[in-house]
Amino acid sequence: MGLKILSCGAGMQSTALALMSCENKKYGIKYHEVPIYDAVIFCDLGNEPNWVYDQVNFIKKACDEVKIPFYVLNTHLYTDYIEYFGKKRVVSIPFWSVDENGKKGKMMRNCTLDYKINEIIKFVKYHLLGYQKYQRLNQQDFKAHEMHLGFSLEESKRCKENKHKMFVNKFPLVEMNLTRADNYKYILEEWGLDTKASACNICPFHTNYFFEFMKDNHPDNYSSIIEFDEMLEREQPNTKIRSKLYISKSRKRIRNLKQEDCCDKESFQYKNKSIWNGF
């Protein structure tokens, strides 16, 4: 039997999967598409919103109670950027860009692959399966292990095959026809936890509303966003790329966002209430 691994971002979707697995372990199989995981793995990139770490701690406690192994991998994306951006190569984050001629663009997205997916694969291979560095993969491990990802029904277009020869990707929430709102409802009503989405504070896919919310409610997080954004303003990634890079999709410095820029709040309905999704 291959391993069944949950790649846990600790947002609504992967939190729901982790907690469903805990229920299956404690009470018997209720959610047939969700296995009892051999490992739940969260990659800490070093600059998540405060609520993400609260959700991580909640998942860990639930997993510990039923003895599902829960791991946190410290992958240090934020500190690598602070230390090396403008000095040496760093992984590409999909920042919004404007080149010298005013042409708008977007950088490639390699951060999730390099700082999450590949780190989980290495952890499973070397720490859970016991391979030595540079050791070839045994035949019995080819496509023998499952990587479960928390994509909900509205994200089904993101469901892709795993390119690594060791893993097959699984998307239980899509199989169960569960939306983000469904996951929010399950976690709140069954576990009493009010969840939000998980993404780095510096993720360019955030709405401008997110930055306004952080300014008003999480000044410690907001100050780190400002520090990072000012670094993007001050430095260049390398000598070949001369475009100006921005976290905000409006291609403005975070400190210069106006209230009218921040009317892009993303919400869903729960019991006739509008719930912000955390992005």
Q: What is the pLDDT of residue 167?
A: 96
Confidence (pTM): 0.94
Smallest CA-to-CA distance from 43 within 111, 131, 134, 143 is with: 111
Here the CATH number for the domain that contains residue 97 is 3.40.50
Q: Which domain holds residue 272?
A: 4-276
Give 10-residue mean pLDDT values along the chain (279 residues).
95 97 96 97 95 98 98 93 86 91 89 91 96 92 96 88 93 96 97 96 97 97 96 78 90 96 96 94
Token pair of 189 as six digits: 């009503």
pLDDT of the residue at 238: 64
Strand partners, 70: 40
What is the distance of C-alpha 74 from the center of its chain?
A: 13
Query: b or e along 31-50 (b: 16 or more beta carbons within 10 Å of the residue's beta carbon)?
Result: beebbbbbbbbbbbbbbbbe
| pLDDT at residue 50, as a whole number | 96
Report residue 177 as tokens. Answer: 């026809």
Contact 149, 4 (CB under 8 A): no
Q: How many domains does the chain have?
A: 1
- Chain position carrying tokens 């016991």: 130
State residue 1's pLDDT score: 77
